[in-house]
Structure formats: C-alpha cells, structure tokens
Structure 1
Amino acid sequence: MSFTLAQDLSFALTLADAADQVTTSRFRVTDLDVQTKADDSEVTDADLATERRLRELVAEERPDDTVYGEEYGGERQPGRQWIIDPIDGTGNYFRGVPVWATLIALVVDGEPVVGVVSAPLLARRWWAAQGSGAFGVFADGETERLQVSAVDRLSDGFVNIGSLDQWDLVDQRAEAIALLDASHRHRMFGDFLPYMLVADGSVDVVAEPDLKPYDMAALVPIITEAGGRFTSTAGVPGIWEGAALATNGRVHDEALSVLNPR
C-alpha cells in the first residue's frame, strides 16, 4: 500500500499523541525505574514503554515499514523506515526537568521526509513533511509556519554547540571554541531544543559532533522546510555521519570553515 506524505505526516502526529500519553503519565512519578545502559546513558521505563507503543502502532498501520529506535534497535534499511527516539533528553526526564521530547521521523531510502518533535511539558510541537513547509504549535496553542533567521554573518549569529564533553570525544574542542568565538552570542544546551530554535529563527547555528540517527532524523525535515540547512560537521548531508551542523543556511559554509580549518 502506498501513502502520501500528507498521510504519513498525519500518522506521525498520531504517533506523537500516543507518545505524549505515555511520557506524561510517567513524568515525575516516584516509582520511575531508571537503568544505566552499556554506553553509560540512562533509560527509564517510560522510554521503553513509549517505544514499544509506537512500534505497535507502526506494525498495525504501516506493516510494510521497518522501525529503528533508540531502545529496541534497528539499522538503516532501504525503503520506508520510521526512526524513533522515545524520549530525547532522558537525563532531564528522570530528574524532573521538563525539557525533553519524542522524536519521530519517516525516512525513505535513508532520507528523512517527515519529522515530528513533541515536547508536551513545554506545550510545544514542531512538524514538517518534505515540500510542505514546517510548522509549530506554541504554548498559546496557535500554529505558526516556521522560518529560519535572516542573519548572514557568523559574527552576528547566535550559536549553540551542546557540551564540550562531546567535542572532546572527537578531539575537536578547539574547533568548537573557535565557532563560539566567531559568533555574536552563544549557549551550550543539548538535545532537540536548539535545533527547533534554528527552525523558528531564534538561533542561527547548532553543531554537535557525537549523535545517532535517531537523534537527528526528525529534525532534518523541520529545519530544511523552514529554510535551513542540515549536514554533518564535515559538510555531508543527512543523518548517517554521526554529527550535525544545522543552520539558517546563510552562515552554513562559514560555520563549516571554522569547524574544518585544515
């Protein structure tokens, strides 16, 4: 069975509704189970339950599609694949910080074509389908079309680089600091939020050097449909290189040149 991107986006939003029901029901409960994974990151019973529920729905409604999720695994597949991060920001989630989201993407032959980011405790959601624009619902309940900023010089830009610990892993601390020094103003916070701020024009550059496909897939359609650009920190398009550089497009090449000085 074939589906239009509009139908796939509608289904992705339904998945986000289902995810929100699970995640909000377990947020700040006293019996939340938190375990440490082999990579030293945390996983909660809410992460696991959310991904299980989304996999069930995909199996029911899109039985020919594959799934790649953070908690129950998968790998890049040809054709249609749903890529899921059930809770992006698990560290925030289990500490009771409300800055976390479920990330849902449809990827076709490796390219993200639908993306939804749902942050229910912030009362915000962002979504896009390829060729149809990017949109967000904000705390007042109004839907707005997203548009990246018009900043055209890095020296005038607002930059976010996640954490320096990540950059140490790839021996690029100096390049990360150079990017901060080249900007007008900077912040260092991680997960989904700075990317959505690129899409709505509040931030101009986000760079992170150590990510997985499920960290990035849902972000790509939203940023690109808002007029931005998304590559690896080396300039390779897509989500399979383990790193991300997301910008308003106008300062992308300048940011790449700072991150890749040789």
Structure 2
Amino acid sequence: MSSNERRMQAGIEAVRKGGAHALGLFKRRDELVIEKKGRQDLVSRADRETETIIRDHISALFPEDGFLGEEHGAAGSTDRMWIIDPIDGTANYLAGIDYWGVLLAYVENGRPTLSFTYDACRDELWTAEAGKGAFRNGKPIRCADTSRADEALLALSFNFKLDPPVYTNMLEAAIRKGIDHRRLGSSALKLAYVADGRFDATVSMLTNSWDVVPGLLLVKEAGGCIVDFTADGHPYDQPRPAAACAPGIRSVIEEVTGLTLDG
C-alpha cells in the first residue's frame, strides 16, 4: 500500500471518528459551554475535542506529519501537513441546525493531495485524491452541467472581518445575472454540494484555509473550477477569497466576484 493510500485510509478513519464524537455532543449540546472568539465567531469544547481526536489518530500513524488546525494552530512539518476544521459550521452546530461538517486535507510540498469532508448527521463522506477523482461514500461524483446564469444556484458565505460592500456588491452582481443564492452556514458542505452537483457555485470573499482547502480539491477532482488558495505564494495560515463552480458557469462567477478560477 502506498503512502497516499495509507493516508487516505487514515483520513477516512480520523474524520469518521471525529465526526462520531461531534455528533454525540451535538445531541447533548445543552451541556456545552459556548465561548466567543470574535464577532459572530463561536467555539465550544466540541470543536477542540474533535480536532484533538483527529490529530491524535493521524499522529499515531504518521508521527512525522504536521498540522494546521482552526482550534490548535500549527505544529510540526509543513512539507507533509494536515489541515483540520473539526466542526465547520459551529454556529449551526450550537444552534441545533444539522448543517455542519468535519473537514480534513493532506497537503504535501505545498499542494493539496487528499481531501475529506464528513457530514456526520447524514453519514455522507466526500473524498478526493489529486488526479484520481472525487467520491461520495465511495461512488464517483461530478459537478453539475449547468451553463446558464439564470439556471444557476450559488451558495454564499459571509465573514464579519470583511467590509460589507465587498459581499453585497458581489451578491447584487450575481442577482442581476439571474443567479439564485443560498447562505447555509458551512463552507465545507457547500463545496461538497458543488462537487456533487447540488449547487452550481460557492463563493466566500474572505475565508481561512481550513474552511475551504479540502473542498476546493474535491470540486477540482469533480471536474469543477476553483480558486488556487496558495496562488502567488499566499500562505495557508492567512485568509483570502475563495470560490468554486461548475465549469459551464466559470466566466460568470469570475465576472461577479472579480476572482480568477482554474479548471
């Protein structure tokens, strides 16, 4: 078994293990103490414990690998690094809304290589390996074949660190093109839904790597177009805009966002 095959198996085990823990606490969320990291930025022990479970599982199998996690930060190697968002959609999670995901990516020599997105509430696991396609629960998936803006469905994210007109101007431009939109609260699941043909595009005008790097690889492997998060040497530990879409609406998404997509 190759190193990537072993890491793929480890990643699947880790997100399922972490997801099971998070789901158990989700069902008892009235016991959680909620803390604020910033404006509309919440956290609880569920986030921290889930990230620790994932890190510990990976570390036991690959002690030489490093990590970049939303809750516990960076540690170890950056040549072979796992990026973790233990609960993407924490506000939904703590409000009892079952739209959140467990997110993990393996990055080797600066390039995303493996991707894992787990919806524990629905037991849907999306995986991808660079150059080998995208899958949901082991079955191949592809982006939608949508080619008209007035038939497209766009999923959005908003970050309170962003100047509001950057978001509202982009939204107005999309609406004027006839694009419908949703804002559901988990970048991880929105990217998975684009890869799976449920949404046609998703955009965040300011986001962190742990929110989107796994899903961007997933969309790319499903035949979609994506922003390269590390283009121009941008580091993984700094936020930037991100977008992904079905290939047939690439030009209109680039137009309304001002972003450049690859695919």
TM-score using structure 1 length: 0.87
> Which residue identity lines up with residue 204 of structure 1 in the other structure?
D
Counterpart of 1:253 in structure 2 is 251
Compute the displacement of 1:181 (Å).
2.5
Counterpart of 2:27 in structure 1 is 28
Compute the displacement of 1:75 (Å).
7.6
Counterpart of 2:184 in structure 1 is 189
Structure 1: how far apart are the matches of 2:71 and 2:198? 31
Q: Is the 1:82–1:105 contact (alpha carbons within 8 Å) kept by the matching residues of 2?
A: yes
Q: Size of the alignment, in residue pairs?
A: 254
Alpha-carbon distance change, 186 to 169 in structure 1, aligned in 2, over 3 angstroms: closer
- Identical pairs, percent: 24
Alpha-carbon distance change, 236 to 198 in structure 1, aligned in 2, over 3 angstroms: farther
Counterpart of 2:45 in structure 1 is 45
Q: Is the 1:232–1:242 contact (alpha carbons within 8 Å) kept by the matching residues of 2?
A: no
Counterpart of 2:136 in structure 1 is 136
Q: Is the 2:80–2:108 contact (alpha carbons within 8 Å) kept by the matching residues of 1?
A: yes
Give secondary structure in 2 for the equivalent of 1:202.
coil
Alpha-carbon distance change, 64 to 124 in structure 1, aligned in 2, over 3 angstroms: same
Structure 2: how far apart are the matches of 1:28 and 1:14? 21
Alpha-carbon distance change, 113 to 239 in structure 1, aligned in 2, over 3 angstroms: farther
Structure 2: how far apart are the matches of 1:209 and 1:76? 29
Give secondary structure in 2 for the equivalent of 1:118.
strand
> Which residue identity lines up with residue 7 of structure 1 in the other structure?
R
Structure 2: how far apart are the matches of 1:170 and 1:33? 34
Compute the displacement of 1:6 (Å).
2.2
Q: Is the 2:127–2:136 contact (alpha carbons within 8 Å) kept by the matching residues of 1?
A: yes
Moved more, 241-250 or 126-135: 241-250
Counterpart of 1:120 in structure 2 is 120
Counterpart of 1:177 in structure 2 is 172
Alpha-carbon distance change, 206 to 166 in structure 1, aligned in 2, over 3 angstroms: farther
> Which residue identity lines up with residue 249 of structure 2 in the other structure?
V
Q: State which of 189, 202, 208 in structure 2 corresponds to 1:206.
A: 202
Is it true that 1:220 corresponds to 2:225 in the alignment?
Answer: no
Q: Is the 1:111–1:238 contact (alpha carbons within 8 Å) kept by the matching residues of 2?
A: no
Counterpart of 1:140 in structure 2 is none
Q: Deviations over 1:60-88 (max 9, x none)?
A: 11111100000011289641100000000
Q: Is the 2:143–2:222 contact (alpha carbons within 8 Å) kept by the matching residues of 1?
A: yes
Compute the displacement of 1:239 (Å).
8.1
Unaligned 5+ runs, structure 1: 138-142
Alpha-carbon distance change, 136 to 97 in structure 1, aligned in 2, over 3 angstroms: same
Give secondary structure in 2 for the equivalent of 1:217.
helix
Alpha-carbon distance change, 167 to 72 in structure 1, aligned in 2, over 3 angstroms: closer
> Which residue identity lines up with residue 97 of structure 1 in the other structure?
I
TM-score using structure 2 length: 0.86
Summarize the alignment of residues 139-178 of structure 1 with structure 2, pairs less than 5 Å apart: 143-163=138-158, 168-169=163-164, 171-178=166-173
Structure 2: how far apart are the matches of 1:188 and 1:166? 17
Moved over 6 A (4+): 235-239
Summarize the alignment of residues 63-82 of structure 1 with structure 2, pairs less than 5 Å apart: 63-74=63-74, 78-82=78-82
Q: Is the 1:167–1:176 contact (alpha carbons within 8 Å) kept by the matching residues of 2?
A: no
Q: Is the 1:158–1:183 contact (alpha carbons within 8 Å) kept by the matching residues of 2?
A: no
Q: Deviations over 1:103-122 (max 9, x none)?
A: 01001122211111111112
Alpha-carbon distance change, 206 to 111 in structure 1, aligned in 2, over 3 angstroms: same
Structure 2: how far apart are the matches of 1:226 and 1:63? 31
Give secondary structure in 2 for the equivalent of 1:243.
strand
> Which residue identity lines up with residue 251 of structure 1 in the other structure?
I
Structure 2: how far apart are the matches of 1:119 and 1:186? 21
Alpha-carbon distance change, 48 to 114 in structure 1, aligned in 2, over 3 angstroms: same
Counterpart of 1:90 in structure 2 is 90
